Chain A
Amino acid sequence: MRLLLAALFLAVCMHDAHAIDAAPAFDDPALQARYERLTHELRCLQCRSETIADSNASLAADLRRQTRELIAAGKSDAEILQFMQDRYGDYVLYSPPLAPRTWLLWAAPIALLAGGMAAAVVVIARKSRLPDTDPNDPGLGGS
């Protein structure tokens, strides 16, 4: 059973490692690397939580073809991402752009972490200043 699970896991991993198209998009490894990176940055809008590199949806295949053609036409990565963003909006990008309307989105994790740490510091500082009055605590309260 364990072996079977391991085999299944491996099969899933290997499936994931394969490119979705039969042949690589480019013979040139540098272009292929750019193609891989770009298709992993773009969202398939038909399936929402997959990149166009991973999705079998027909729209994803069309957008992979579009990416390939734009690379072949000599467009820069920024131009290609802009091309997609002009048509499909910020949502097509897996990492949203840093803009005034997304400051909250980007700042929220940092703000929450900072807030939590500040709260922790305050609580710990306050606790350590209190005399230990807990009779059940045999530890530091010995003095």
Chain B
Amino acid sequence: MWRYLIPIGLFGALLAFFYLGLGRDQQTLPSPLIGKPAPAFELPRVDDPSRTVSSQEFAGRPYLLNVWGTWCPGCRQEHDVLLDIARRTVVPIIGLDWKDDLELAQRWLRELGDPYAVTAFDSEGRVAIDWGVYGAPETFLVDAAGRIVHKHVGPLTIDIWEEEFMPKIAATGSANE
């Protein structure tokens, strides 16, 4: 009799796997860069392409790196959240404008407000490759030691900011305020 229970048991196990699979986030890929030094870069600035911005400038304090583009609907969606985060001045936000049009990017910041301490213009997407970016918006948290401690893929919300980012910023023990 017990042997008839085997297929039922296996079926139950399969169902359990399927059920767990349903709840899993299939879109977000784990970044191999977590815990690794943030890739260095030097790029033209969106506000003034004749000047460059280097990742060296942010060394020694935590910062956010937010990857965006004017072609990216999710970036428009999270823009007000970024403005809100910028107003809280916990960490500076560095923009990485990814494969974009310079004039459109400048207009975007002028019209929607500029949450970024500075925005780097990555027109060829090379820096984005170094950071393992696969879809904007993406937001990285870099600690004072220059290591990537967290990555969020997709539009930020204030809830995500408070639940995922703030504890990690507090944990680095070097938040500015």
Q: Cα distance A63–B124 when bound, in Å? A: 11
Cβ-defined partner of A87 (8 Å) among B99, B124, B130: B130
A87-B129 CB under 8 A given contacts A45-B134, A46-B135, A59-B134: yes
A58-B125 in contact (CB<8A): yes
Q: Tell me the chain B residues, 98-134 only, with Cβ under 8 Å from chain A.
A: 99, 124-126, 128-132, 134
- Interface of chain A: mostly helix, strand, loop or mixed: helix
A59-B125 in contact (CB<8A): yes
A46-B129 in contact (CB<8A): no
Cβ-based interface call for A79 (8 A): no
Q: Cα distance A88–B126 when bound, in Å? A: 14
Q: Tell me the chain B residues, 20-79 only, with Cβ under 8 Å from chain A.
A: 29-33
CB distance from A102 to the nearest CB of B (A): 14
A89-B30 CB under 8 A given contacts A58-B125, A62-B124, A62-B129: yes
Cβ-defined partner of B131 (8 Å) among A46, A87, A91: A87
CB distance from B4 to the nearest CB of A (A): 14
Cβ-based interface call for A28 (8 A): no
Instruction: Specify the chain A residue showing the minimal Cβ separation from B124.
Output: A62
B32-A89 in contact (CB<8A): yes
A45-B135 in contact (CB<8A): yes
Q: Cα distance A66–B126 when bound, in Å? A: 8
Q: Cα distance A85–B32 when bound, in Å? A: 8
Which of the listed residues A58, A88, A91 has the most CB atoms from chain B within 10 Å of its own CB? Answer: A88
A89 proximity list for chain B (CB < 8 A): 29-32, 132
Instruction: Specify the chain A residue showing the minimal Cβ separation from B131.
Output: A87
A87-B132 CB under 8 A given contacts A45-B29, A58-B99: yes
Contact with B along A14-31 (1 / 0, CB 8 A): 000000000000000000
A88-B134 CB under 8 A given contacts A45-B29, A58-B99, A66-B129: yes
Q: Cα distance A45–B136 when bound, in Å? A: 12
CB distance from B46 to the nearest CB of A (A): 19
CB distance from B71 to the nearest CB of A (A): 9
B32-A86 in contact (CB<8A): yes
Q: Cα distance A89–B133 when bound, in Å? A: 11
A45 proximity list for chain B (CB < 8 A): 29, 134-135
B interface with A by C-beta (< 8 Å): 29-33, 99, 124-126, 128-132, 134-135
